[in-house]
């Protein structure tokens, strides 16, 4: 089953981020609270980000467009369109250098009540 065209989702979520006051948009494409795998498209406008937050489980971030910085502890990783980044299992933050769209893939920890 086709969940969506990634190029179309990039355009749609950048549009939504530009229309909203928060400068971001997110939508879960696959999974949910009762599933162990979740994929979410996240759009962030330039100079916007996600403040430091806990790791939701094993996760990767694929940059579909733009450039971002992932900060986790003393480690900073810059990534651009086409890059796939592992999110460390610790508190982390994300900053967009440019208008950016990401695909977040999370495997939830088993046995945590999630």
CATH class of 29-108: mainly beta
pLDDT band at 29 (very low <50, low <70, confident <90, very high): confident
CA dihedral 6, 97, 40, 106 (to 10 degrees): 120
Give this prediction's pTM: 0.85
Q: Which of 9, 29, 22 has its CA nearest to residue 101?
A: 9
Q: Render pLDDT for 47-106 as a digit per residue (tens, 0 to 9).
A: 999 998 888 779 999 999 999 999 999 999 999 999 999 998 889 999 999 999 999 999
Indicate the DSSP class of residue 112. Answer: S
pLDDT tens, 9-26? 889 999 999 999 999 999
- Give the pLDDT of residue 114: 45
Instruction: Give residue limits of the domains in the chain.
Output: 29-108
């Amino acid at each position: 089953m086709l969940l969506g065209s990634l190029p179309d989702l990039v355009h749609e979520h950048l549009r939504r981020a530009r229309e909203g006051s928060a400068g971001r948009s997110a939508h879960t494409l696959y999974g949910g609270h009762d599933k162990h795998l979740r994929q979410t498209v996240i759009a962030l406008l330039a100079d916007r980000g996600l403040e430091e937050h806990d790791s939701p489980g094993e996760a990767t971030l694929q940059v579909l467009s733009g450039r971002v910085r992932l900060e986790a502890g003393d480690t900073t990783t810059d990534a651009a369109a086409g890059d796939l980044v592992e999110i460390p299992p610790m508190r982390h933050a994300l900053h967009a250098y440019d208008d950016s769209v990401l695909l977040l893939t999370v495997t939830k920890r088993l046995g945590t009540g999630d």
